[in-house]
Amino acid sequence: MIKRSISLLVVLGFVLIFWKMLTNWLPMTDLHGVAKEYVSREPDELGAVNVVTAIVVTYRGLDTLGEVSVLFLAATGVALLLRRRGKKIGAGKRKRPSSEFLQTGTALLTPFIIMFGVYIFINGHLSAGGGFQGGAVVASAMLFLLLTFPGYKFKHTVLNWIESISGASYVIVGILGILLAGGFLDNRILPLGEYGKILSAGAIPVIYIFIGLKVGTELAGILENLKHEH
Amino acid sequence: MTIVLGIGFILMLIGFWGLLTRRNMIKMVLSIAIAETGLQLIIIAIGFIKGRTAPILNSDVLKLEGVLKVVDPVPQALVLTAIVIGVAVNALMLTFIIRLYQQKKSLDISDYRAMKW
C-alpha cells in the first residue's frame, strides 16, 4: 500500500509539472533560428522538396547515422539473445495451416506492399515519406508472410548481404561528401537536378534508398528472430 | 493544438503510472511505449503553427515564402528519429523478457532479485 501511495505522489507531481507547462504554453507563431534558416535556404542549397528529409539526411545526417547504428545494435542484440541453442522448439507438433483466403491474399498482396514500401523510400525527398517509413512498410510485408506461413524461412545470406552492403554504402556516400563536397554526408556530390523531379536533390534519394533497404532487412530480421520463440 | 498537447501529457502520465504500479514486465514495456507516444505527440504539437501547412515545399509560392507558410520541420525530424529508436528499444526489451521467462517461467518483476541491491 505504501508503495502505491508513493507512486501516486510521483504521478501527482508530474501532473503538477505538466499542468504548469500546459497552462503557461504559448503556441509558436513564427519560425525562429535554425528552423527559419533551414526552410529559407534549403530549396536552393540542397534542392529537396521535403524539408524534413533534407534535415534528417543532410543537415543532421550524422544523427541519422547514429540512429541507424542504434537500430543495427538493437537488431544484433535481439539476434544474439535469441540465438538458437541447437534444440528445435515446436518441431514435434504440427500446426493447422492458414486458411485458403489468407494464403491467397498474402501471395497476392505481399509484392504490392513491398513495391509500396520501395515507392515511399524512393520518393522520400519529394513527398511525405522516406527510408525509415518505407523500410517499416517493407518489414510489414515480411510480417504478413511470417504470420500466414509460419514455416517460411527468409534467405539469411541474401538479407545479411543487403543489410551490410547498404550500411557500408551509406557510410561511403558520407565519406565521398567529405572528399567531393562540403562535408560528411553532403548531398551535393551528385548534381542537384531539376527541383521537384525524382532524380534531384543530389545524393538524398541514394542515401534514403540505402537506409530503406537497411531498415527493412533489419526489422525483418528482428521479426524472424522473435518468431522462433513461440 | 493545446488539445493535442494535453492528450500527449495524459498519455505520458498513463505510461508513468503503469510503469510504477504494474509488476508484469510486458505491461511495463507497454507503459514505456505509451509514454513514448505521448512524448512524440507533445514534440509535434510544440512545432505546430496555426494555419500553416506541412514543410513540403512543392509549389513556387511555398518555395519562395516557405518561412511564412510552413510549420517547424525540426521537431518532426526529431520525432522521426525518436520513433525508430523507440521501436528498436522496445524490441530489445521484449527480447530480454523472452530470455528471462525462459529461465524462470515468470513474468513478474519481483521474482527477479539477483541484480537488486
What pLDDT was estimated at residue B98?
Answer: 87
- Contacts for A225 with CB less than 8 Å, ≥ 6 apart: A78, A79, A82, B95
Q: Which one is predicted more confidently, A230 or B82?
A: B82
Place of cell 505509451: B34
Which one, of A228, A211, A191, A29, lies nearest residue A124 by Cα? A211
Average per-residue pLDDT for chain A: 83
Q: How many CB atoms lie within 10 A of CB A108?
A: 9
- C-alpha A150/C-alpha A169 separation (Å) is 33
Q: Phi-psi bin for B11: left (phi > 0), alpha (psi -120 to 50), beta?
A: alpha
AA identity, residue A160: N
Domain hosting residue B100, numbered range: 2-111
Contacts of A28 in chain B (CB under 8 A): 46-49, 72
Specify the CATH number for the domain of residue B67.
1.10.287.3510
**Average pLDDT of the residues in B90-97:** 90
| Phi, psi at B24, each rounded to 5° | -75, 125
pLDDT, tens digit, for every residue of B94-115?
988 988 888 888 888 888 887 7
Q: How many domains does the structure of chain B reveal?
A: 1
Would residue B116 count as lying in a domain? no
* B12 contacts B87 by C-beta, under 8 angstroms: no
Would residue B79 count as lying in a domain? yes
DSSP A203-228: THHHHHHHHHHHHHHHHHHHHHHHHH
Nearest-CA distance B44 → chain A (Å): 12
Beta-carbon separation of B57 and A81 below 8 A: no
Would residue B94 count as lying in a domain? yes
Nearest to B66 among A39, A63, A225 (CB): A39
Nearest-CA distance B35 → chain A (Å): 12
Would residue B17 count as lying in a domain? yes
Nearest to A11 among B13, B76, B94 (CB): B13
Nearest-CA distance B29 → chain A (Å): 15
| Phi, psi at A137, each rounded to 5° | -65, -45
pLDDT, tens digit, for every residue of A103-148?
898 889 999 999 999 999 888 888 888 888 898 899 899 888 888 8
